[in-house]
Amino acid sequence: MRLLQYNNNGEFSLTESFGDEVPQYAILSHTWGAEEVTFRDLIDGTGQHKAGYRKIHFCGKQARRDGLRYFWVDTCCIDKSSSAELSEAINSMFYWYRRAATCYVYLSDVSVANHDQRQHTWEFDFRESRWFTRGWTLQELIAPRSVEFFSRNGKRLGDRTHLVQLIHEITGIASEALQGASLDTFSVDERFSWAAKRQTTRKEDRAYCLLGIFGVFLPPIYGERDNAFTRLEAEIAKASTGKTLTFFSCNPSVIFILAVHLLKSGAD
């Protein structure tokens, strides 16, 4: 795992891979935009003028305030030109978010005036945030031990514990799951339902972003499209051998509808 560190000059730089000896770190959750800072940008010393630089800078500063030297951002900590590194990242993502000291959710479409952070002034935008509609942010909401929400101007809105009822209303995710209950206590049907209205840019990612939710692993094969979901179902079945699953016994029509929605709706 490769991390970022905030330097004394106010800039940040990439570390070498830590292997299994990973220090405490903060992790960023966000939605991708048109101008993200990439791994290559950091290697070449470019990217400071991209729009995505702002949230990386925010994450580093907030981590330093919280006494954390290191932080992780998916746009630039993964060398996506390496298929092996990308595969490891996809299969490790849930674990990386879970082992983080804290997760900062940067909501680029929620703004709060400097003088007014009362909940009623930002709750509507919070409910409508794009962050709650994306596939990858599902595990980023559930996996970490601590999740804190921030507006685009860096104002803290609250943490997952404080906002649990509001998040439950927005997402339909059981409050117990949001408060750290083992995901094995929730049926396969229910866990699929959490993702039913979420979208990903690539069709395959509709399956890959659920790996951690079901505790399974898959080598990503971009270009396989609908087959990714078929492989996901097979891995869930294999991992659940000997268990009673509503996925197969209770409501097969529900799972079929959810699968079709995940694979057919939204942008390919």
Last-in-domain residue among 181, 197, 220: 181
**CA dist 29 to 59, 115, 138, 229, Å?**
10, 25, 10, 24
Last-in-domain residue among 160, 181, 202: 181
Q: Which H or E run contains 207?
A: helix 205-208
Range of the domain at 39: 1-181
100 & 117 share domain: yes
68 & 121 share domain: yes
Q: State the Cα–Cα distance between residues 8 and 50, nearest whole angstrom.
A: 22
The larger pLDDT score, comparing residue 20 to residue 67, is at: 67
The larger pLDDT score, comparing residue 27 to residue 12, is at: 27
135 & 230 share domain: no
pLDDT on residue 250: 37
Q: State the Cα–Cα distance between residues 219 and 88, nearest whole angstrom.
A: 8
165 & 201 share domain: no
Q: State the Cα–Cα distance between residues 228 and 237, nearest whole angstrom.
A: 14
pLDDT on residue 12: 86
173 & 86 share domain: yes
According to DSSP, the residues that pair with 150 across neighbouring strands are 106, 156
- Judge residue 237's burial from the number of C-beta atoms within 10 Å of its C-beta, 0-12 exposed, 13-18 middle, 19 or more buried: middle
At residue 25, the 3 state secondary structure works out as strand
pLDDT on residue 249: 36
According to DSSP, the residues that pair with 199 across neighbouring strands are 134
Q: Are 151 and 122 in contact (CB under 8 A)?
A: yes
According to DSSP, the residues that pair with 156 across neighbouring strands are 150
Number of domains present in the structure of the chain: 2
Average pLDDT over residues 182-186: 95
Average pLDDT over residues 95-117: 90
172 & 54 share domain: yes
Distance of CA 32 to the CA centre of its chain: 11
Q: Is the pLDDT of residue 244 over 60?
A: no
pLDDT on residue 16: 82
What percent of the chain is predicted at pLDDT more than 90? 77
According to DSSP, the residues that pair with 213 across neighbouring strands are none
The larger pLDDT score, comparing residue 19 to residue 62, is at: 62
Q: Is the pLDDT of residue 96 over 80?
A: yes
pLDDT on residue 253: 38
113 & 59 share domain: yes
Q: State the Cα–Cα distance between residues 41 and 25, nearest whole angstrom.
A: 22
Average pLDDT over residues 243-265: 43
Query: What confidence category does residue 268 fall into, taking pLDDT thresholds of 50, 70 and 90?
Result: very low
51 & 156 share domain: yes
177 & 188 share domain: no
Q: What token pair was written down for 229?
A: 């979901």
- Judge residue 62's burial from the number of C-beta atoms within 10 Å of its C-beta, 0-12 exposed, 13-18 middle, 19 or more buried: buried
> Tokens 């869930």 belong to which residue?
236
pLDDT on residue 167: 98
97 & 214 share domain: no
Sheet with 102-107: strands ordered across: 12-14, 4-6, 70-72, 25-29, 102-107, 147-151, 156-159
Last-in-domain residue among 181, 196, 220: 181
According to DSSP, the residues that pair with 159 across neighbouring strands are 148
Query: Which residues make Cβ contacts (< 8 Å) with residue 235, sequence separation at least 6?
Result: 214, 216, 217, 218
Kindly report which listed range (91-105, 139-153, 219-233, 249-263) carries the lowest average pLDDT score. Answer: 249-263
Q: Is the pLDDT of residue 233 over 90?
A: yes
Q: What token pair was written down for 268?
A: 């390919």
156 & 248 share domain: no
Query: What confidence category does residue 245 fall into, taking pLDDT thresholds of 50, 70 and 90?
Result: very low
Residue-wise pLDDT for 22-32, tens only, equals: 999 999 999 99
pLDDT on residue 241: 73
193 & 257 share domain: yes
According to DSSP, the residues that pair with 102 across neighbouring strands are 26
